[in-house]
Structure 1
Amino acid sequence: MQISVASPESRESARQDLPFTLKDVKDAIPEYCFQPSVFRSLAYFFLDLGIIAGLYAIAVYIDSWFFYPIFWFAQGTMFWALFVVGHDCGHGSFSRSKLLNNIIGHLSHTPILVPFHGWRISHRTHHSNTGNIDTDESWYPVTESKYDEMSTLEKFVRFYAPLIAYPVYLFKRSPSRDGGSHFAPSSPLFKASEKNDIITSTAAILTMVAFLGWFTFQFGAIAFFKFYFVPYAIFVMWLDLVTYLHHTEDDIPWYRGDNWYYLKGALSTIDRDYGIFNDIHHNIGTHVVHHIFHTIPHYHLKDATEAVKPLLGDYYRISHEPIWKSFFKSQKACHYVEDTGVEVYYKPEK
């Protein structure tokens, strides 16, 4: 089943019950916020690559198990920053050139084993259906009846080990969304017209896997573990942590049926403060305005947010509490939603 990804404008034709429209929000944002700069976007891309290369050079030079934990965390964080650059490419906010977006998107995502087009398409579905229990793609809640049917292993992975979920999601998607692999052109995630894009990205991933295999054969499993596997695992944890916290909060509503429309759903997310990491991972925690207008480049998200805050008022959500505290609070409080109701909220473990 192919999930609908109707445009924000058509979604706006649904029943309105917010005191402002999508046009009102757009008019409040300075026009320059919607304009990507190729030079600036490329500068962030090359800066991330430079830091990654520098960290590898330092790790090889020092070659100490006392230093490796520092290297692992720093490099895994930079892998996550590189993902965010590819994230802009997937949204078309890196540049106005589709070709350049696709090239940089693959160069950003392939080294960290993310199929660019496969991710781009499913992420588009997520943005077009945010906050809709039935059609959202990422971190949507399970219903109470589904929760009661889940095995102990399913509950453990979903609620107690969510920071390792992403690789599984790429291969299997979610069982409640008809499954589907991000690597297979025949997946229900994709249209027939997107087949060549999926083949391209999957071929790129297979090339990267082959390179990692050659590297392991040439330098040994310990080298693979030190220089790639652990930083990759930390990148996955960053990705799962940030995306989980974007959409998992016990007092933010989820919607069903005609009670949902694009702008209302886009506001069902929350900005988070990652402290010193905000600039490192390109302000991905500034997420509310990104969900309303995903074509705003990451370096304009703060300005756009400040511009719309007076209009959004209490509909704008931000948390300044420590990230670890937010994670454990949501992990404890957000397990399922009721089977019925057009506006529902997470409930804690039974």
Structure 2
Amino acid sequence: MQANTVINQTTGTVSQTQTQELPFTLQDVKAAIPAECFEPSIFKSLSYFFLDVGIIAGLYAIAYNLDSWFFFPIFWVMQGTMFWALFVVGHDCGHGSFSKLKWLNNLIGHLSHIPILVPYHGWRISHRTHHGNTGNLDTDESWYPVSEEKYNRMPWYEKLFRFYLPLLAYPLYLFKRSPDRAGSHFLPSSPLFRPSEKWDIVTSSVLWVMMVGFLGVLTYQFGWVFLVKYYLVPYIIFVMWLDLVTFLHHTEDDIPWYRGEDWYFLKGALSTIDRDYGFINPIHHNIGTHVAHHIFLNMPHYHLKTATEAIKPLLGDYYRSSNEPILKSFIRSYVSCHFVPNTGSKVYYESPWKPKSK
């Protein structure tokens, strides 16, 4: 038995508490990774940001000049995917892995997130909670399972977005959060945030409102069709990408979830899975390389593949990955992952159509 490693998600400090059954510690995993993987490059990070912005601008120029309904469906998919790629850049900013400069992270984070209607600081802080509590049924923040009892008493509209329209849930999550978790990403008074984070939340929320106002001005000036063609449909595609990737990283019927003292940081961080998105991998900055990211959230995305190869021999069977086609994985998890048992410290997803106990 070894000492349990706990990470303070604010300060990054490590402490040892209770015993654990994993045959390695967080320090063991870190020692297996080349030190340079933890070093962000401002030049490299900015290059990804400007590349994404450049492609987005280029797609807009092409779509506007062609103004063809034959091209718009292609444009929507491509632009929505690039919105998602830009989100991933802001995601690195939120983790502090974009650079070691807080002001630069916040600047690029807002420039990446506000145009796609993500309140940067609100999301950053709730996502910090997710990373600090991954795999914990009681305190995780993102795509955590509900108990069977909770599932049975959920109102129909909550079930609709959570289980039957999961790829459209993100905007609702920003305003309403998730089942059994109250709060809004826009209000400083939300239980998501500390009093000291008030002005961060106010800043992002004001900028978000200004972006909504800008879209309103465009709609007033050019009409609803203009908004739908050039913004609304790509935004919906982006939301679907965000929900799909987040869902697939944490929703699998053989990934364990923990209650109470059976959970600790490293064990929870391993309750995720790497996915292969094929030719999309480099476009969305290899976000499918997720296990290493959850163990070391301050690692830039462009080092995750190297880090993953370094830790795979150490993790052994504790490392999960899938090369299954994404659509097939989504459909299988969509059908088989609805709730977990009401009791038990280590539990797995079950479904009303496909009960499964382990």
TM-score band, normalised by shorter chain: over 0.9
Number of residue pairs the alignment of both structures matches: 346
Corresponding residue to 2:219 among 209, 216, 219 = 216
C-alpha distance 11-277 of structure 1, shift in aligned 2 (>3 A): farther
Map 1:76-225; keep pairs closer than 5 Å: 76-177=80-181, 179-225=182-228
Say yes or no: does 1:52 pair with 2:56: yes
1:198-244 alpha-carbon deviations (Å, 9 max, x no partner): 00000110111111011111111100000000000000000000000
The correspondence of residues 228-307 of structure 1 with structure 2, limited to 5 A, is 228-307=231-310
TM superposition shift of 1:11: 6.4
| Contact 2:136 2:259 survives alignment (8 Å) | yes
- Pairing 1:7-46 to 2, within 5 Å after superposition: 7=9, 12-46=16-50
Aligned partners of 2:73, 2:212: CA distance in 1, in Å? 24
Q: What SS does the corresponding residue of 2:271 show, helix, strand or coil?
A: coil
Q: Is the 8 A contact 1:80 1:238 kept in 2?
A: yes
- What is the alpha-carbon distance in structure 1 between the residues aligned to residue 108 and residue 289 of structure 2? 22
CA distance in 2, matches of 1:324, 1:141: 21
Q: Indicate if the aligned counterparts of 1:142 and 1:336 stay in contact, CA closer than 8 A.
A: yes
Picking from 336, 339, 342, the partner of 1:336 is: 339
AA of the residue aligned to 1:111: P
- 1:272-311 Cα shifts (integer Å, max 9, x gaps): 0000000000000000000000111000000000000000
> Once the 2 structures are TM-superposed, how far is the Cα of residue 148 of structure 1 from its aligned partner?
1.1
Secondary structure at the counterpart of residue 276 of structure 1? helix
Secondary structure in structure 2 of the residue aligned to 1:15: strand
Aligned 8 A contact 2:86 2:112 in 1: yes
Letter in 2 for 1:52: I
Contact persistence 1:12–1:262 (CA under 8 A): no
Report the Cα offset of residue 12 of structure 1. Answer: 4.6
User: 1:248·1:330 contact (CA, 8 Å) conserved in 2?
Assistant: yes
1:30-61 deviations in Å (ceiling 9; x for gaps): 00000000000000000000000000000011
Q: Is this contact kept in 1: 2:7–2:14, CA < 8 A?
A: no
Say if 1:254 and 1:343, in contact at 8 Å, map to a contact too: yes
Normalization by structure 1: what TM-score? 0.97
Q: Is the 8 A contact 1:12 1:22 kept in 2?
A: no
Residue 5 of structure 1: CA displacement? 8.4
Percent sequence identity is 70
Which of residues 309, 312, 326 is equivalent to 2:312? 309
- The equivalent of 1:348 in structure 2 is 351
Q: Please state how far the C-alpha of 1:248 moved relative to its aligned partner.
A: 0.2
Decide whether the 8 Å contact of 2:114 with 2:208 is kept in 1.
Answer: yes
Where in structure 2 are there 5+ consecutive unaligned residues? Answer: 1-5, 354-358
Contact 1:12–1:263 (Cα < 8 Å) also in 2: no
Q: Which has the higher contact order (CA 8 A, sep 6+)?
A: 1
> Aligned AA for 2:134?
T
Q: Does structure 2 conserve the Cα–Cα contact (< 8 Å) formed by 1:5 and 1:125?
A: no
| 8 Å contact kept, 1:171–1:181 | yes
Counterpart CA distance in 2 for 1:29 and 1:175 is 37
Aligned-partner Cα distance in 2 for 1:244–1:5: 24
Q: Deviations over 1:246-289 (max 9, x none)?
A: 00000010001111000000000000000000000000000000
After superposition, the C-alpha distances for 1:119-177 in whole angstroms (9 at most, x for unaligned) are 00000000000000000000000001111112333222211110000000000112401
Unmatched runs of 5 consecutive residues or more in structure 1 = none
Find the aligned partners of 2:49 and 2:96 in 1 and give their Cα distance.
Answer: 15
Provide the aligned C-alpha RMSD in A: 1.3
